[in-house]
């Protein structure tokens, strides 16, 4: 499978994009030329130059430094939110798919209900009430995006449940927990990983959208979304404030999507046949 992924140029590009953004976020304190929150009234709205490669914002803060620190926030939100969603999804999906019956019905009804509430409305409402902070955002995005994983895990479990190796293990006296964790879950891991990677992409988009509406990461902490919101005010004479954060979000999401798609193609040979 790794070989197939490696032969897919798009997946490689996606991986390269993600890896380099992660690296930049990791070493941000060492390579950021300025303090991301340092206000400099003598350097307001400077256009990109050698001393400020992405220019400065309305408070004279260096945009490049803010972008680097913003990358940390965006990536962290993506990972933690998807981690929460995947954990919930695996637990509920495993229970539904393994035990079936009324437990399955109840869980799937809850999934249907959650899916029919426009999730952006729900997130917005909860965040506004809990006061916006980076932790609340991660938790709320996680709590409102587990439905896909649940369905996926359930479907995998349903199709694996009656396969010979599972039945054999059961006949040999394996307990439910052992069946679930050593037989069923490892065999459904690949689609879960693929959907998590694609989930990170949409969590990054969601976070930036919330920050853009002022319901996300709060100033002075930098996130790509709120750099963009600041930039909105100056769009007529400071294009760099809006252009760079937008491009960064675009690239990150594109990277995750390309990687996730490449992995799925490698895992699911049917989509390669055509």
Partner 1 sequence: MIIGISLISFFIMHLAPGDITTTEASFNPKASAESRQKLRELYSLDKPVIVQYGLWMKRMATLDFGTSFASHQRPVFWQTQDKDGNVTLGMIQEALPITLLINVLSLILIITIALPLGVISALRQNQLADRGITLFVFIGFAIPSFWLALMLMYWTGVQHTWLPISGLESMGHENMPWLAQMFDTLKHLTLPVFISGITGLAGISLFARNGMLEVLHQDYITTARAKGLSENRVVYGHALRNALLPLITILGLSIPGLIGGSVIAESIFAIPGMGKLFYDAVTMRDFPVIMGILTIGALLTLVGNLFADVAYAWADPRVRRGVAQ
User: Which one, 112 or 176, has the nearer CB to partner 1?
Assistant: 112
Task: Find the binder of partner 1 among 22, 39, 103, 213 (CB under 8 A).
Answer: 213
Question: What distances in angstroms separate CA 236 from CA 79, 189, 211, 240, 241, one per listed residue?
Answer: 35, 49, 21, 10, 10
Cα 89 from Cα 153, distance rounded (Å): 7
Name the CA dihedral angle for 55, 56, 62, 63, rounded to a multiple of 10 degrees. -70
Under rule CB under 8 A, how many of the chain's residues touch partner 1? 45
Residue 138 contacts partner 1 per CB under 8 A: no
Report the residue number, 28 or 251, with the smaller CB distance to partner 1.
Answer: 251
Task: Give me 36's structure tokens.
Answer: 């991301």
Is residue 124 a contact residue for partner 1 (CB under 8 A)?
Answer: yes
Beta carbon nearer to partner 1, 30 or 102? 102
Under the binding rule (CB under 8 A), the answer on residue 9 touching partner 1 is no
Taking the complex as a whole, the smallest distance from the CB of residue 72 to partner 1 amounts, in Å, to 18
Q: How far is CA 53 from CA 58, 83, 266, in A?
A: 16, 34, 39
How far, in Å, CA of 127 to CA of 137, rounded? Answer: 7
Asked, as a colleague might, if the bond just before 220 is cis with ω within 30 of 0, I would say yes
Does residue 223 belong to the site contacting partner 1 (CB under 8 A)? no
| Inter-helix orientation angle 63-99/134-143, to 10° | 30
Residues 86-115 that bind partner 1 (CB under 8 A): 109-110, 112-115
Q: Is 208 near partner 1 (CB under 8 A)?
A: yes
Q: Which of 67, 200, 217, 253 binds partner 1 (CB under 8 A)?
A: 253
Interface with partner 1, residue 190, by CB under 8 A: no
Phi, psi values for residue 247, rounded to 5°: -60, -40
Shortest gap between Cβ of 226 and partner 1 (angstroms)?
Answer: 12
Tell me: does residue 238 bind partner 1 (CB under 8 A): no
Phi, psi for residue 62 in degrees, rounded to 5:
-75, 120
Return the number of the residue (156 or 207) whose C-beta is nearest partner 1: 207
Please give the Cα distance from 197 to 117 (Å, whole number). 24
Binding site for partner 1 (CB under 8 A): 109-110, 112-122, 124-126, 128-130, 201, 205, 208-209, 212-213, 215, 228, 231-232, 235-236, 239, 242, 245-246, 249-251, 253-254, 257-258, 271, 273-274
């Amino acid at each position: 499978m790794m070989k197939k992924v490696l032969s897919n140029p798009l997946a490689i590009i996606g991986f390269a994009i993600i890896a380099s953004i992660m690296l930049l976020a990791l070493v941000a304190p060492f390579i950021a030329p300025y303090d991301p929150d340092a206000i400099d009234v003598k350097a307001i709205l400077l256009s990109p130059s050698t001393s400020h490669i992405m220019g400065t914002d309305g408070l004279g803060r260096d945009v490049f430094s803010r972008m680097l620190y913003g990358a940390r926030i965006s990536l962290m939100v993506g990972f933690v939110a998807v981690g929460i969603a995947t954990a919930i999804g695996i637990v509920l999906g495993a229970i539904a798919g393994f035990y079936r019956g009324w437990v399955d019905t109840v869980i799937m009804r809850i999934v249907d209900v959650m899916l029919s509430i426009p999730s952006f409305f729900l997130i917005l409402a909860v965040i506004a009430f809990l006061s916006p902070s980076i932790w609340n955002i991660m938790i709320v995005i996680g709590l409102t995006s587990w439905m896909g994983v649940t369905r996926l895990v359930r479907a995998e479990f349903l199709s694996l449940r009656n396969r010979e190796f599972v039945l054999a293990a059961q006949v040999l006296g394996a307990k439910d927990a052992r069946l679930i964790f050593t037989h069923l879950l490892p065999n459904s891991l690949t689609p879960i990983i693929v959907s998590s990677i694609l989930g990170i992409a949409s969590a990054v988009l969601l976070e930036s959208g919330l920050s853009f509406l002022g319901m996300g990461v709060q100033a002075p902490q930098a996130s790509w979304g709120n750099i963009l919101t600041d930039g909105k005010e100056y769009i007529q004479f400071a294009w760099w404030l809006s252009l760079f954060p937008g491009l960064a979000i675009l690239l990150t999401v594109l990277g995750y999507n390309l990687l996730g798609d490449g992995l799925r193609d490698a895992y699911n040979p049917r989509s390669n046949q055509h």
